[in-house]
Amino acid sequence: MAAARTRQEVSAWRPSVPGVTEVFHAHFTEYAYPMHVHEAWTLLIVDDGAVRYDLDRHEHGTPHDTVSLLPPHVPHNGSPATPHGFRKRVLYLDSSRLGEDLIGRAVDSPDLRDPVLRLRVGQLHTALAHPGDELEADSRLTLIGDRLRAHLRPETATDDVPRRDPALARRLRELLDERVVQGLVLDEASGLLHAHPAHLVRSFSTAYGIAPHQYLMSRRVDRARRLLLEGRSPADVATATGFYDQAHLSRHFRRLVGVPPGRYRKSAR
């Protein structure tokens, strides 16, 4: 049998999401990281294979059902723990998302077995891969940050306990209605409504059964349907309704309507 081909594939980018300094996806079969440090928090999931690493002179591993959180300024390395290497997705987060006061706890327990957290981190990577979905990515990252802090501070954890706040939810909905085209970031909404971003997302989702980013996209798609039935092109409609580009419109339109915008436009009578 022929030897497996050495593979080193990477992609990296910096999204327009507050607190994310880099997104890094990689597939390595043989490469081993030497000891090094980062200025940012490293939030890591492994989709295939596993990684063995040393953190603060203790050996750890990353089976596919865990989320690994490596703190800043603490040396670590990394190498494949399986014959075929590993595929990983990494987020580097600055101190606005996780404070340095949590470093000690993260050193003690960097690998978190939490299926809900693992699922959410994967969903976040999907959102980060699509320009125009920054509100979704910001919302997901805000809730992930809360869940990470709950793991690191279990005695004060209140993660995923919805608090009903219909007045706040209504005010956020009104703000989203005003910003259908130009959009909204959570930090701005937090300042305008004087509420923590995580509380905003949870209050809205509890009140309406839908996340703020889903509500905004639904409003944009409704507006796009009207313009398409007037005969406007999908490219023009994307610009007029706040989507990043025509591909961004097509992805959300098809998800909510069942057909792409061009086909929907042709069906008009």
Name the residue ranges covered by the structural domains of the chain: 8-152, 162-209, 214-266
Tens digits of per-residue pLDDT, 77-102? Answer: 888 788 888 889 999 999 999 999 99
Single pTM value for the model: 0.85
Judged by DSSP in three states, 260 sits in coil
In CATH, the number for domain 214-266 is 1.10.10.60
Tokens of 227: 């313009």
- Taken in order 148, 154, 155, 157, the sign of the CA dihedral is positive
229 φ/ψ angles, rounded to the nearest 5 degrees: -70, -20
Say which CATH topology domain 8-152 has: Jelly Rolls (2.60.120)
- Separation CA 204–CA 210 (nearest Å): 7
DSSP 3-state assignment of 3?
coil
pLDDT by residue, tens only, the chain of 269 residues: 344 466 678 899 999 999 999 999 989 888 878 888 899 999 999 998 888 888 876 677 666 678 999 999 988 888 878 888 888 999 999 999 999 999 999 998 899 999 999 999 999 999 999 999 999 999 999 999 999 999 998 765 444 555 667 899 999 999 999 999 999 999 999 999 999 999 999 999 999 988 999 999 999 999 999 999 899 999 999 999 999 999 999 999 999 988 899 999 988 76
Q: What is the pLDDT of residues 152-176, one digit of tens each?
A: 987 654 445 556 678 999 999 999 9
For tokens 């399986």, name the residue: 82
